[in-house]
Amino acid sequence: MMSSPSYSSQQAARSHAVRMFALGAILLGCGLVTSPLAAQTSANVSINAASNMGSVPSQGGYGVGSSVYDGYMTNQGLGAALKTGGFNAIRYPGGSYADIFNFISGSNNTLNNGGYFAPGDTFDNWIADLIRPSGAKGVITINYGSNTTNNGPGTTSTAASWVQYANITNNDGILYWEIGNEIYGNGYYSGFNWEYDLHVLNQTASARVGNSALSPSAYGTNAAAFIKAMKAVDPNIKCGVYLSTSPYVPGWNQGVLTALSSALQGSGYTLDFVIDHWYPNGTDAQVLAAPATVSSEISTFRSAIQQYYTLGNGSQIQILVTEAAANRNGGLYPYLFTADQYLSWFEQGASNVDYQELNSGVFEDSSTNTPDGPWYGVQFDSLVARPGDRLVSASSSNSLLRAHGVRRSDGQVGVVLINDDPNNSTTVSISVSGAALSTIGTKYTFGNANFSPGANTPNSGIGSSSISGVGNNFSITVPAYTSVAVVIPQTSTNTANLIANGNYIISNYQTGLTIDDYGFSKTAGTYLDMWPATGGSNQTWTVTNLGNNYIYLTSAYSGLAMDVYGGSTSSGAKIDQWYWSNTSNQIWKVVSMGNGNYELLSQKSGLALGVPAAISGSGSRTLLNGTGLDQETVTGAANQLWSFNN
């Protein structure tokens, strides 16, 4: 085996900078400079509250990356501080370090290739000190590149043992499992050689560039073997592979997805998500403008999936952005970027975004748990756009005034305004359609005034106050380098019951089948299914409104309530009937989607009542009778739309 350079913690911590050099150049951002005599600009913002874009993921959306070289990862109180900031996902063990990280047991982890392992940063401690106190969901990157003896590639048995330990032995409920980190950086492409990958032992460029064992096809084929081994242990997990939008790695996405599809064909297993890493480059102004390009980034991924992934669940594959950051830390600028990027990704359907990284990013790199700008960015967003809330279309006439709209599950409408102009305040004229809004709301503000000149961290937190004079049309001034959000209730006339009390047949838009109490059962715990309409009482559901368009549904035959089995908050949990107990897993939020169709969102989980996508397929109106229902991440897709007929 050829020896390779020592892999230092500093190299890993700055891995995104290495990638930027490989792609061309780095332009260091400049400091905040404000004009002593600020001018004023204007913008017109339009929000359509009746439109539908992506949703804030019901769980695991607002994420952060943690790394085993971080000497402050297990700080006392850090997990609680993440929860206060609105973070609900944490990635481990850290970027390129994942491909040198050996999981031997929960308390026995080692590193290959000279990596630095900070004392105490084991998987067990990560769970105990970060995951449990924060209540966050874990995102794990397994070692694709190297084995525990550092003389060959990562093994499926090691990955499967990690799934076994986490989810079966300890019930940690880790949902997302990435297969390796940035494997396209393994040396197959000239100049892209930061990722440790012992599928070829020789570390010299001449032995690696173009070597088929390091190719995208090899990664796709090998990833399929990992998926099979890991899901054989826990079929409920989701597995993902890394894709790229870089023009310097031609054929990567095609090779990975084509080979993976072929290797999984007929196995009963599928790919669940693809992975993006996003580090916008350039001046401060260029990086702050980058979230406007997120839709193009997502479109590239969707196009690759549509072209090259041949299994039946392509339309249901999720996109996780497991690394994303501004190009420098400290001060107000990373805050503005963070507040904009999370909502931009969620608008386009991303299921998870992880800021890179925990310390020296979201927090200062110290023992004090001092929040940095990105922490406030997530806190600001999550105050307005909470898990399960729906993003709606928003447009701005001023490119420096970024706008986002939110239709919340509590019926309120949120407007988020981010002024990327460092010198000028902006007077914004706002027009909201699709909902009748009250004249009084809640205003949140954070920005330039929260930072002392030259300070890296703010001297005060997010401001909150009541605001009057709002409604469907109003104006507001957003100071330079500042974000302002307004949350406005709907008027009482607009919150009248969308579905009146009464008895209904409830039909699925995609399949045309109705919700059915299987076999005319009166047994609590019987799973509900889909069946052609018969008019029977076992397909008749009584709607009872609880206010604010929350309802519960009881079977006209059994008298039992529609219920998320076991009170689960997990996507994929089954739907049964149970004794009415006025609990949140039996209460559903009705959301109008137009044309007489509605979403039904669990009050407890925020997930949508749906027909399992793996069975229903894309656009199909045929389905095997008797298929059960589940709750799913809200997508607005046809399998989650329901009509109520008397």
User: What stretch of H or E contains 227?
Assistant: helix 216-233
615: pLDDT strictly greater than 80: no
546: pLDDT strictly greater than 90: no
CB 419 within 8 A of CB 480: yes
Return the closest-CA partner of residue 303 out of 315, 291, 294, 293: 315
Give the torsion sign (CA, 385, 390, 394, 399).
positive
Which CB contacts under 8 angstroms, 24+ apart, belong to 309-314? 309/257, 309/260, 309/261, 309/271, 310/258, 310/261, 310/262, 310/265, 311/261, 311/264, 311/265, 311/270, 311/271, 312/270, 312/614, 312/617, 312/618, 313/270, 313/271, 313/613, 313/614, 314/618
The position carrying tokens 């993921």 is: 57
- Tell me what pLDDT residue 230 has: 99
Residue partners of 404: CB distance under 8 A and separation at least 6:
340, 343, 344, 347, 385, 391, 394, 414, 415, 416, 418
| pLDDT tens digits, one per residue of 224-279 | 999 999 999 999 999 999 999 999 999 999 999 999 999 999 999 999 999 999 99
What structural domains and CATH numbers belong to the chain?
Answer: 9-30+56-323+341-363 (3.20.20.80), 394-494 (2.60.40.1180), 497-645 (2.80.10.50)
Which CB contacts under 8 angstroms, 24+ apart, belong to 146-152? 146/99, 146/100, 146/102, 146/112, 146/113, 146/196, 146/197, 146/198, 147/102, 147/198, 148/102, 148/104, 148/110, 150/112, 150/113, 150/198, 151/1, 151/198, 151/201, 152/198, 152/201
| pLDDT tens digits, one per residue of 426-442 | 999 999 999 999 999 99
- State both tokens at 42: 């204007």
- Tell me what pLDDT residue 638 has: 85
617: pLDDT strictly greater than 60: no
Residue 102, φ and ψ in degrees, nearest 5: -105, 115
Q: Name the 3-class secondary structure at 545.
A: strand
Question: In terms of DSSP H, where are the helices of 265-407?
Answer: 284-289, 294-308, 333-347, 373-384
- Tell me what pLDDT residue 497 has: 85
- Tell me what pLDDT residue 10 has: 36
| pLDDT tens digits, one per residue of 289-340 | 999 999 999 999 999 999 999 999 998 899 999 999 999 998 999 999 999 9
Cα(376)–Cα(82) distance, rounded to whole angstroms?
A: 11
- E-assigned strand segments in 333-457: 352-355, 390-396, 401-407, 413-419, 425-433, 440-447
173: pLDDT strictly greater than 70: yes
